Amino acid sequence: MARLQYSDFLRQLYGHKVQKLNVNAGFSCPNRDGTKGRGGCIYCNNASFTPAFGHASSSVTQQLLDAKLFYACKYADMKYVAYFQSFTNTYAQIEKLRELYDEALAVDDVVGLVISTRPDCLGDDVLDLLHSINEEHKVIVEIGVETSHDRTLELINRCHSWQCAQNAINKVAQRGLTVGAHLI
Ligand code: SF4
């Protein structure tokens, strides 16, 4: 069976060739602020994948405009998806989430969202919001699963279980959202 490249999968989902643009919206994480744990997962280093234009001191709009400029000279006719990647991108009050996601979708040629989060940060209110956005703009929810071994989850200080990840994957899929799992 032929494997589908991720870029082709995105093209099918969005109906265009799309480039993911990283956004650092200034979120924190319950595994760093003491809500679930302190110090975070043992490998946590968000700076390692944050591009030069992805600093939380800039607005979401400005980060996306800067990123678009970076890619615009490489590809003609490109569309974009805003990739909320840094930290836990559903970890805020629902109105704040709505405001940030709407801001991203208001940028020209941004046709969808990719939201990276923990499995224990996908309450019904968040899923309702993502479901409503998905009716007009496709949303991919990327869940940090990492492993199906609870012992390993404990060793890397994830502060959630494999069962929690399974529940989250099922809930996201049941809302008709596209779901991805990060493994380590
Ligand atoms: S869940 Fe993500 S942001 Fe939070 S501590 Fe772990 S790797 Fe870092």
Gap between the Cα atoms of 114 and 139, Å rounded: 6
pLDDT at 58 over 70: yes
CATH 3.20.20.70 fits 15-183, yes or no: yes
Identify the pLDDT of residue 66. Answer: 93
Terminal-to-terminal C-alpha distance of the chain = 25
CA–centroid distance, 88 to ligand 1, in Å, is 7
32 closest CA partner among 19, 42, 47: 42
CA–centroid distance, 111 to ligand 1, in Å, is 27
DSSP-derived secondary structure letter, 22: E
Contact 17, 80 (CB under 8 A): no
- The string of pLDDT tens digits covering residues 116-153 is 999 999 999 999 999 999 999 999 999 999 999 999 99
Which residue minimizes the CA distance to atom 5 of ligand 1?
40
Contact 94, 124 (CB under 8 A): no
Q: Which stretches of 28-161 are assigned E, i.e. beta strand?
A: 79-84, 110-117, 138-146
109 closest CA partner among 171, 33, 6, 20: 20
Identify the pLDDT of residue 50. Answer: 64
Identify the pLDDT of residue 2. Answer: 75
Q: Is 5 helix (H, G, I), strand (E, B) or coil?
A: coil
Average pLDDT, the chain: 93
Angle made by CA atoms 170, 171, 176, in degrees to the nearest 5: 95
Residue 45 alpha carbon, nearest atom of ligand 1 = 8
Query: Domain segments of the chain: what residues?
Result: 15-183
- The string of pLDDT tens digits covering residues 60-107 is 999 999 999 888 777 778 899 999 999 999 999 999 999 999 999 999
Identify the pLDDT of residue 46. Answer: 67
Residue 57 pLDDT class (50, 70, 90 cuts):
confident
Identify the pLDDT of residue 89. Answer: 98
The pTM score is 0.93
Any residues with Cβ below 6 Å from ligand 1, and which?
Answer: 29, 31-32, 40-41, 44, 87-88, 118, 144
Identify the pLDDT of residue 71. Answer: 86
Which residue minimizes the CA distance to atom 6 of ligand 1?
41
Which residue minimizes the CA distance to atom 8 of ligand 1?
44
- Which tokens in the block code for residue 176? 């008709």
DSSP-derived secondary structure letter, 38: B
Identify the pLDDT of residue 54. Answer: 59
- Which tokens in the block code for residue 92? 């805020």
Question: β-strands 110-117, 18-23: how paired?
Answer: unpaired
